[in-house]
A and B are shown apart, each in its own frame.
Chain A
Amino acid sequence: MACDTEYDTDNRNDRIMNPPNNYNQPISPEDDAMLQAIEALEAQTVDPDPKPLVPETPVTPAPVVVTPAPEPIPTPVITPAPVPTPLTVIEPTPVTTEAPTAPITPEPATAPTDPSSAIAAALARGPETTTPKSTYQPFPKKKLGKKPLLIILAIILVAGLGVGGYFGWQYLQSQKTSPIVNGIDTSVPDEDPGLPADSEASVNSTASDIENQVNSVDETEYKDETLSDAALYE
């Protein structure tokens, strides 16, 4: 609430109408901050939708602004806009003779007699001020970079590796666990890695491996019963 009282337009207008005689001195930081805040508020109120505001203000300055700023192009509107405002403000020019410093000139420019007309004048200057302030965004957009894409790709990659690994492991297990084909063990027994090559033990091991392989060979498919009448005609 205290802040509202500070930015009250009446106080501001009072100060505008009764300016202190210290124009030859620079504006205090407090006043400067206040002015910037006011301008920011005006810009926020004007920037998003400047068109409906102009007709809503039934104030007299509106036609003044509208007439010099016809529809054609926004650039010509900017140049005539400041013309009427200095004309209305020229009255306090005697003051300017006392302090022709630069920061004082904008202050009387926004000093119409009526607060509503002041706001209207400020709104009328909207196109002039919107150009630089139109880029202002109270909530800056978050730029979506490549991070989400990389995360998605990483997830897909991990999932693919997982699925591939699972099926690969299943395949390897099936290869290991199914050496018996048609009842015959086709697996080749591994040599005992502990045995030295060409030793008595390794050769005996090879002999026993061969013996096991021969004994595991299934020859029942060559029995006569496989072509008996019972086997053929049943």
Chain B
Amino acid sequence: MEHRLNARNRTITTIVFIAVATILVVPSVQAQTAAVQTEARCTIAKTNLTERLAVIEKTRSVHASVHSDIQAKVDTLITSATTKEYDQVSALTTAQASVQKNIDTYSAKVIAYTNTLKTASTIDCGKALATLDPAIKAARTSLAETNTAAATVRKSITEQTIPAIKAYATWLATQNTTPTTGTTE
């Protein structure tokens, strides 16, 4: 009888020990596993951020070239219109100035975005793992602003510059037809 009681107590003790050990150990293991996973994600994210940074730098260069070319064409037209005493030259100059302002804003936004990408891509995943998420969050915010600025540039060119140029073309057409009607009359 006594032997049977001793065996029972021993079993209970073992079960209690296992339960306590599980309660104590499992969370720490889980935490370590999560940390390892986070570090691995950090490394992957840094690689992708570095690639993204290169793409954005290239895109910024291409966009700057296109914007510069457009502004140069508008500048040529403004000079021509001034020479021909076009009475709505101000429409062209206003459109050009507005577009240039938006281009400058866009350029500043792109630079800010690239800076956030640089910051996020240079995080030490071993020591400053906690700073990765804030950095990515800042990069996402800057990305949205950059996207808006790019759209603003495109919109200003489409809605201001091109109509002003077409108005100038129309005026040129009237200037060409006016002398002929005058001579026939």
Residues of B within 8 A of A222 (CB): 59, 143, 146-147, 150
Task: Flag if A198 contacts B80 (CB, 8 Å).
Answer: yes
How many A-B residue pairs lie within 8 Å, measured between CB atoms?
Answer: 104
Among B9-17, B28-36, B123-131, B163-171, the stretch in contact with A: B163-171
B151 touches which one: A204, A211, A219, A226 (CB < 8 A)? Answer: A219
A residues in contact with B150, CB < 8 Å: 217, 219, 222
A226–B56 CA distance with the chains assembled, in angstroms: 11
Which of B69, B143, B147, B165 meets A213, CB within 8 Å? B69
Q: B67-98, CB under 8 A of A: which get 1 and which 0? A: 00110011001001001100000000000000
Report whether B63 and A207 are in contact in the complex, using a CB–CB cutoff of 8 Å: no
* A182-B58, A182-B59, A232-B44 as given contacts; A209 in contact with B52, CB under 8 Å: no
Known contacts A232-B49, A234-B44; A206/B62 CB under 8 A: no
Instruction: Give the residue among B73, B170, B173 with the most A Cβ atoms within 10 A.
Output: B73
Q: Give the Cβ gap from B99 to chain A, nearest Cβ, in Å.
A: 10
A233 touching B44, Cβ below 8 Å: yes
Contact partner of A203 (CB less than 8 A), chosen from B59, B62, B172, is B172
Please give the distance in Å from A133's CB to the nearest CB on chain B.
85
Interface of A is mostly: helix
Q: State whether B154 touches A219 (Cβ < 8 A).
A: yes
Q: Which of B48, B49, B83, B165 sits near A210, CB closer than 8 Å?
A: B165
Residues of B at the A interface (CB closer than 8 Å) are: 41, 44-45, 48-49, 52, 55-56, 58-59, 62-63, 65-66, 69-70, 73-74, 77, 80, 83-84, 136, 139-140, 143-144, 146-147, 150-151, 154, 157-158, 161-162, 165-166, 168-170, 172-173, 176
